[in-house]
Structure formats: structure tokens, C-alpha cells
Structure 1
């Protein structure tokens, strides 16, 4: 399967983001939090994802952008196994809640835990 994170898979629509934060559920593996919701959209993908880092915790844009790159890369590497298990369309947002700058191995381990919790919760419902 293609392991890229294409433009069509990125969460950019303000309507979708507003609805996600209004009606979404969350799973957490501190400091990575995933907010998700079953929201239908027109594109031919099963999952749209976005990332966010708090300006309160990281004042410098350089630091926020680095953490967002780490989140996107760890998501990109593990999304194939996640998408195989989905049957409907989802919208999700990954938030980094920590106060210290992480390394890639840490972010990747937390991303795996969050995605595992998400798949377990969605299989039950």
C-alpha cells in the first residue's frame, strides 16, 4: 500500500474540523491525543487526519513545526494498518499535549498506542 500522506488525506476543511471538535470522541496516550468522529465527506479516502501543537506550551514556531513533522511522519508510517480495519469514513486530529520536546522514537511509540486504542474502541462499537 502507498505509504505517503497525500493532500487529499489531510484535514483542512474548517467545517469538518468544527464538527470534529463538537461531536468527536478521544483516545489518549499522553502526550499524544487523538480526537476522532465518523463524519462523511466527498473525497475517496477512509480517513482524513490533521496535527496540532499548542502555542501555549511551545512558544517558538520552529519547535511546534518540528513536533508536527514528527507526528505526521509517525502517523504516515502506521496509517496503512489502521485504514485496512476501517469500514466507514473518519476524521481525526492528533494533538501533542506535552511540555517537553520529544524525539521520534517517543512520538512513534505513543502514536502506536493511540492508534491501537482507537482500533480497539471502534471494533467494540
Structure 2
């Protein structure tokens, strides 16, 4: 699934994240989105730093994912998303929360655009 996402998925950047996404048939119908998080070990050699950044990202996503879920409920679509952290410094929570708000709104917009192109 991850190989397909990186090979065939669409991508955009909202600093400090690179977001790769694609519509997918997921193994479960319970959740409309499957998300993954990654932080470069080259930029953050200490695992404790990588884990902190991933934890912050997952928490920001968890608190705001309802926006994306509501948009996907209108049309029974499932989505696979991968968030890659690209900055060189450890972020603070309020900054990431604002960035995830922008990212999720853009995912909703991109998904709507794909639906309208698919119908035409």
C-alpha cells in the first residue's frame, strides 16, 4: 500500500510537511482515512526527537481529522495520506496545529476537485 501511495499518489507541500495522498480501497470500512507520519533520521539523528515530532503531528491530526472525515462522508471515499516532516528544527504544538488546519482544508479541496474531474 505504501509503495503504491508513493508511486501513484499526488503530493503537495505546506511547510513543514510534504503531503502525499491518493484515493484508496482500505482494508477497513470503519475509518475513511489511513494516515502515516515520517521524520527524516538524517535531519534528526536522535530517535527521541523524531518520535516527539511524529507524536505532535499525530496529535494535531487527531484533533482536526473530523473536518476531513465529514467531507469524505458525503461521498463514500477512502483516502490514504502520508505526512513527511521536512523542517530542520523541532516544532511547537500551536504552529503544527495551524499547519494541519491548512493541510486538511487543502486535502478536502483536492478531493473535491478530483471528484468533479472524475464526473466530467
Given that 2:60 and 2:100 are in contact with CA atoms closer than 8 Å, whether structure 1 keeps it comes out as yes
Given that 2:33 and 2:80 are in contact with CA atoms closer than 8 Å, whether structure 1 keeps it comes out as yes
Residue of structure 2 equivalent to 1:18 = 3
* TM-score (structure 1 length as normaliser): 0.84
Which of 56, 76, 86 is 1:97 aligned to? 86
Question: 4+ residue stretches of structure 1 with deviation over 3 A?
Answer: none
Written as runs of structure 1 = structure 2, the 5 A alignment for 1:1-125 is 16-44=1-29, 45-86=31-72, 87=75, 88-125=77-114
C-alpha displacement of 1:80? 0.8
Question: In 1, Cα distance between the equivalents of 2:34 and 2:113?
Answer: 21
Higher helix share: 2
Matched residue of 1:55: which SS?
A: coil
C-alpha displacement of 1:41? 2.0
Give 5+ residue unaligned stretches, structure 1: 1-15
Give 5+ residue unaligned stretches, structure 2: 115-120
Matched residue of 2:91: which SS?
A: coil
Matched residue of 1:68: which SS?
A: helix
Q: Number of residue pairs matched?
A: 110
C-alpha displacement of 1:121? 1.6
Question: In 1, Cα distance between the equivalents of 2:48 and 2:82?
Answer: 20
- Over alpha carbons, which structure has the higher Rg? 2
